[in-house]
Structure 1
Amino acid sequence: MSRRMELSIQSSCLLWGRRVIIPPPLRSQMLEQLHSGHCGIVRMKEIARSYFWWPGLDSAIEEKAKTCMSCQGVRNAHQWAPLHPQDWPENPWQSIHVDFAGPLDESMFLVVVDAHSKWPEVSIMQSTTAESAIQKLL
């Protein structure tokens, strides 16, 4: 099944799918707005593809970011380390996940989930201090 985007006009704006097609006189201004956060090539393309388009947009973004020292700094930034999945616990309650949830109806809840069975235990808490959480967990 082909996902062909349709051209349409809404409120005097030409749309390609859900994106506004930017006319040539406004492209440099849009590129400056997009670049104002100095977030790098990938993020600028991601933002642009969500809202607008013009022929050669990707090339314009690449050229703008390549000539910007701040964007080059983002490009060379260290990547976050990959997540390491936790080993599956052999027995119930050997490993737990604990967090507070709320407020809901002016109450906070201490949520404890067994990592083995995924069984939740929920307690209404009057206080969210470490001391009160430890008392409830004992």
Structure 2
Amino acid sequence: MKTLTRSYVYWPGVEKHIKELVQSCQPINNQYYFIIVDAYSKWSEVIMMDHTTSCYTVLQLTRIFCHLRHARNIGGRGFTSADFALFCQQYGVHH
């Protein structure tokens, strides 16, 4: 997200502000929304998620990777386990 933002806007502290904004996100109506955008085509997917565990996140990414082949620079709570690291390695995701 920060890399994409840098290509459009800049101000002192922009990366810190983005990090704080992402960390402050809360569920909406007890649902999280997982948004993934293909950096090349700008194709986007929005997936409603009940929880943000690594296992559930990997399951959702597996569902949509037939559309998006080269995801990179993903952030969030569901992206920090060994399971997710293995998934990234298997699919060529730069995390």
TM-score, normalised to structure 1, is: 0.28
Higher relative contact order by CA 8 Å / sep ≥ 6: 1 or 2? 2
Q: Which protein has the bigger helix share?
A: 2
The structure in which a higher percent of residues are strand is 1
User: Radius of gyration: which is bigger?
Assistant: 1
TM-score with structure 2 setting the length = 0.36
